[in-house]
Copies of this chain bind each other. A is one copy, B any other.
């Protein structure tokens, strides 16, 4: 494979963005990425739009997004992988450069989720798995699905509501310092425990929100990077991918996500690294329980010890691996199509050591990991970056 590096990243402010159209929202990320790379639209060979869709009035959003950003002739497709859509868009752009099909590709992730009301947005999300046998008969939505995982984890390993709450506390500490986060405030364990129940044991603050946002990354071949005299490219060392059954009733267990485990093993093997080599990570904390399972499924700690891991501050700066210094999906927000690329945005900033004191991970090996899940483990991506 041709070596592929990331040479520019951008991210919009996340939140309820009724002030912009989906095109304008995407441009906030694209414009920043172009400026970051020192490029113009003419330098980009192809633009890959990731958008889960179905919550905005643009049913086929890639066309207007590309037109508005100045890629009218260069945007031949849209990618969707539910909440892992951004990572899937990056994987497609990466392969198009790695193959030699193009030299410089742009991956855009964008989602407007608030053009429908909250109930509709939740219902549309609930259809992310198998419509007929789960959504239609049981009406399950995402908080209910992840509550099943949380109760199983608590029953099997003694994980506590306080440990779940600590995930939100840590992530809000960083979201409070992230000017692009949806929720820029800190919370205490008590705040989380006292927030209103959504699907026990998950309370409001155990859940990520419904977010509008965009993120983008420009990837280039090693030759193109040399020609452009890019100083600090961040290399994509490996992308691991997996998927899983549509019905979660067919899953092997409810204390881990198989898609994470398969994708992680693939990525570690391709990159030739071990979990302990990862210094900074963005993981898919759509719910607090999801971050705890991710510690385990990614191999940062053994299965069942995720609760202890957060309690001992091993996933914070100064611990074994600094996780979700962006604020995560919980603090920063979770606009489906943008999430995977917003993880890349944060990690590129971290690897370049561009974050302010208190939010910058200490780095020796300069190895970062992005972990992005679609649905309730229906899709899994693990991307390893190295500077």
Which residue numbers of A lie inside 8 Å of B, CB to CB? 1-2, 21, 46, 52-54, 57-60, 62-64, 66-67, 71-82, 84-85, 88, 91-92, 94-96, 98-101, 124, 127-132, 136, 239, 241-247, 258-259, 262, 375, 378-381
Which of chain B's residues have a CB closer than 8 A to the CB of A63?
82, 128-130, 243, 246, 375, 378-379
Query: In the bound complex, how far is the Cα of B248 from the Cα of A72, in angstroms?
Result: 12
Q: Complex Cα distance A71/B259, Å?
A: 13
Distance A245 CA – B71 CA, assembled complex (angstroms): 9
Which of B66, B80, B239 contacts A243 (CB under 8 A)?
A: B66
Instruction: Determine the residue in chain B with the shortest Cβ distance to A78.
Output: B80
Given contacts A54-B54, A77-B80, 13 further A-B contacts (CB under 8 A): A57-B131, A59-B128, A60-B80, A60-B82, A60-B129, A60-B378, A63-B243, A64-B131, A72-B244, A76-B91, A77-B92, A79-B79, A94-B99
Within 8 Å by CB of A246, from B57, B64, B380, lies: B64
The distance in angstroms between the C-alpha atoms of A134 and B154, with both chains bound, is: 53
Assess the A127–B60 pair: CB atoms within 8 A.
yes
Q: Are B1 and A73 in contact (CB under 8 A)?
A: no
Alpha-carbon separation in the docked complex, A88 to B76 (Å): 7
CB distance B73 to A262 under 8 Å?
Answer: yes
A258 — which chain B residues lie within 8 A by C-beta?
Answer: 73
Set of chain B residues within 8 Å of A71, measured between Cβ atoms: 243
24 A-B pairs whose Cβ atoms sit less than 8 Å apart in the complex: A1-B99, A53-B80, A54-B59, A57-B132, A58-B127, A59-B127, A59-B128, A60-B82, A60-B129, A63-B129, A63-B375, A71-B243, A72-B245, A74-B243, A76-B91, A76-B241, A76-B243, A76-B380, A77-B79, A92-B92, A95-B101, A96-B99, A98-B101, A99-B100
Q: Are A243 and B73 in contact (CB under 8 A)?
A: yes
Copy number in this complex?
2
| Closest beta carbon of chain B to A272's beta carbon, Å | 16
Say yes or no: B381 contacts A241, CB within 8 Å: no
A46 partner residues in chain B, CB cutoff 8 A: 241
Which of B72, B131, B243, B259 contacts A59, CB < 8 Å?
B131
- Give the chain B neighbours of A132 by CB distance below 8 A: 21, 57
Shortest Cβ distance from residue A273 to the other chain B in the assembled complex, whole angstroms: 18
- Indicate whether A73 sits within 8 Å of B244 (C-beta atoms), given known contacts A62-B81, A99-B1: yes
Would you call A76 and B130 a contact (CB within 8 A)? no
By the criterion CB–CB under 8 Å, are A99 and B95 in contact? Answer: yes
Q: How far is the CB of A60 from chain B (nearest CB, A)?
A: 5
A294 to chain B, nearest CB (A): 17
Assembly CA distance A72 to B130 (angstroms): 13
Q: In the bound complex, do residue A243 and residue B75 qualify as a contact, i.e. CB atoms below 8 Å apart? A: yes
Given A59-B131, A131-B57, A379-B77, do A99 and B2 touch, yes or no (CB 8 Å)? yes
* Interface hub of A75, A101, A130, A375 (most chain B Cβ within 10 A): A101
Residues of chain B with a CB closer than 8 A to A243's CB: 62-63, 66, 71-76
Nearest CB on B from A59, distance (A): 5
Which B residues are in CB contact (< 8 Å) with A127? 57-60
Give A100 to B1 CA distance when docked, in angstroms.
Answer: 5
Whether the pair B73, A77 counts as a contact (CB closer than 8 A) is no
Check B91–A77 contact: CB distance below 8 A. yes
Report Cα–Cα, A98/B73, bound state, in Å: 23
Bound: A371/B242 CA distance, A? 32
Q: Is the CB of A81 within 8 A of B91?
A: no
Chain B contacts of A73 at CB under 8 A?
A: 242-244, 258-259, 262
Residues on B with beta carbons closer than 8 Å to the beta carbon of A136 = 57
